[in-house]
């Protein structure tokens, strides 16, 4: 029995001594695709993030331009209404030179070409034309108001139009 045990122990010892403890090539190859896959997913996430950021900034600039254009329109309308008040107070009021007077909506508005309206009033005793240019930074909107006055100097009709360049 002892010799049988020795044979078993010697077989075990031989198999242990000849065992290759290195991982198989299949186990080594399994992780090779992980790194490129992770890198590819990272690059794709970066591309998506940059695209979303670019779109956000584009939308921001468009909305700011639209808001400034609306403010320029409001300034032009306010300038025209100011001229209407001047005509209502003085029926013979004229201010025929281009950009005859200005209305500032902030300190140094017209000097800095922002937040202002430049107004011109032309015509005669029976009809007048008010041209009001609203300026907000790089945005300029122009309104023209055609007035008809009766013999007493009262405004009988007013037609508002936006002038496009």
User: What are the per-10-residue average pLDDT scores of the chain (165 residues)?
Assistant: 68 66 62 83 95 93 90 94 91 87 86 88 92 92 93 86 85
Two structure tokens written together for 154: 């009262």
pLDDT at 53: 95
Rg (CA), the chain: 42
pLDDT at 113: 78
Q: How far apart are CA 113 and CA 135, in angstroms?
A: 7
pLDDT at 147: 93
Could you tell me the pTM of the whole model? 0.68
Backbone angles phi, psi at 97, to 5 degrees: -70, 150
Q: How far apart are CA 88 and CA 91, in angstroms?
A: 6
Q: How far apart are CA 38 and CA 160, in angstroms?
A: 63
pLDDT at 132: 95
CA torsion 112-114-115-121 (nearest 10°) is: 90
Q: What is the DSSP letter of 24?
A: P
């Amino acid at each position: 029995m002892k010799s049988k045990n020795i044979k078993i122990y010697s077989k075990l010892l031989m198999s242990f001594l000849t065992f290759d403890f290195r991982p198989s090539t299949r186990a080594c190859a399994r992780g090779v695709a992980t790194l490129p896959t992770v890198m590819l997913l990272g690059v794709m996430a970066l591309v998506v993030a940059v695209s979303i950021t670019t779109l956000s900034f584009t939308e921001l600039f468009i909305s700011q331009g639209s808001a400034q254009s609306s403010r320029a329109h409001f300034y032009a309308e306010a300038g025209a209404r100011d001229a209407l008040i001047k005509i209502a107070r003085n029926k013979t009021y004229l201010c025929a030179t281009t950009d005859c007077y200005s209305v500032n909506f902030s300190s140094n508005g017209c000097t800095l070409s922002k937040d202002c309206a430049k107004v011109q009033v032309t015509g005669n005793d029976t009809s007048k034309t008010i041209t009001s240019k609203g300026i907000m930074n790089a945005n300029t909107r122009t309104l023209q108001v055609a007035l008809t006055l009766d013999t007493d100097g009262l405004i009988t009709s007013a037609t508002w139009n936006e002038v496009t360049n």
